[in-house]
Structure 1
Amino acid sequence: MRIISGRWKGRRIQAPPGDTVRPTYDRVRESWMSIVHPILPDARVLDLCAGSGALGLESLSRGAAECDFVEQSLKVMKVLQGNLEALGGHPGATIHRDDAVQFAQTLPAGAYDIAFADPPYASDIAQQLAEQWLAVPFASVFAIEHSSAVTLPAIGDTRRYGITALTFFRTSS
């Protein structure tokens, strides 16, 4: 995997070994970033179910001011820490070892400009996170990667890329 654009463009990052983490394909990540690009500079970003950290690292590379990475697995979190260190670190990067849904439940409305979530397809975490955002919109834009076979609440704008879908939720402001 590589960082697609920005200050770390072309730099390689590692994916956790095994099949517990499904890294986002470059093409899908580029689509994600193209959609949020207008609000990315100086943004406060949240990367839920961070895995390798590819989404948050890509955001920081493209000018986000800060990113909170949330990853539950200690093994996966160590890979994320290694990726951040290999890129030279970032003063606005913070890694939290926590359950993504529980973390989201603690957030006030408007805590972030952009939030990403890439939960395991075989779980109902995407639905839980969407419901939490609908109850308390913790980011102006919330984007969730999920199986294209899953339908999230209709208020979201869904884009399909083969077996993968991205659903974007936006506040009205």
Structure 2
Amino acid sequence: IGSKIIGAEVLDLFAGTGNLGLESWSRGAAAVTFIDASKESLRLVRSNIAKCRAESDCRVLQGSAPAVAERLAAAGELFDFAFCDPPYNKGWIEQIIALLGRKSFLRPGGYLVVERSAHNELPELPAGCELVRSSRYGETIVDFICYNML
């Protein structure tokens, strides 16, 4: 990702502790939106945002990541990066990628970064999406998908 994160608007789809979004912010992202369905996770995200003193650059939203991302896209909100690190084997990655094909939450040239189990295949990508890199780390694979649709 490197310097592409500087000034970027980031979406952390399955925030958990907020580590992916906050790491992006610490490396120069302009704004981060965190989504998680768990109230406990979002309490932890808010606490971590406060510890970083990043409140003015962060937003926390509760709900199902695909549903919230779809609402944001329908409202015209688009992101430069979206991190998708959901619980494994629950079908979340398939839902997020399908949403990207219907109603993108990414700007053209934006990236969806997916973390998945090495035992699960990446679903077929919709038109306008390109897998630009896939790296394996033990039992985990990280995929970088570029959204090129205009």
> Normalised by the shorter chain, which TM-score bucket?
0.7 to 0.9
1:67-120 CA deviation, whole Å, 9 max, x = no partner? 000011001111111111112233110000111011122215770011101100
Q: One-letter code of the match for 1:101?
A: P
In 2, distance between residues paired with 1:162 and 1:136?
33
TM-score w.r.t. the length of structure 1 is 0.73
In 2, distance between residues paired with 1:131 and 1:37?
27
CA shift at 1:171, angstroms?
2.2
The corresponding residue for 1:40 is: 5
Q: Is the deviation greater in 146-155 or in 87-96? A: 146-155
Over 6 Å off, 4+ runs: none
| Structure 1 pair 143–96 and aligned structure 2 pair: CA distance change class (3 A) | same
Q: Quick check: which one's strand share is greater?
A: 2
1:108-164 CA deviation, whole Å, 9 max, x = no partner? 577001110110003110111112113333221111111111111264232211111
In 2, distance between residues paired with 1:73 and 1:94?
15
In the alignment, structure 1 segments of 5+ residues that lack a partner are 1-35
In 2, distance between residues paired with 1:116 and 1:50?
9
Trace 1:20-169 onto structure 2 (pairs within 5 A): 36-106=1-71, 107-108=73-74, 111-139=78-106, 140-152=110-122, 153=124, 155-156=130-131, 157-169=133-145
In 2, distance between residues paired with 1:123 and 1:133?
18
Q: How many percent identity over aligned positions?
A: 29
TM-score w.r.t. the length of structure 2 is 0.84
| Structure 1 pair 93–110 and aligned structure 2 pair: CA distance change class (3 A) | closer
In the alignment, structure 2 segments of 5+ residues that lack a partner are none
Report the number of matched residues. 138
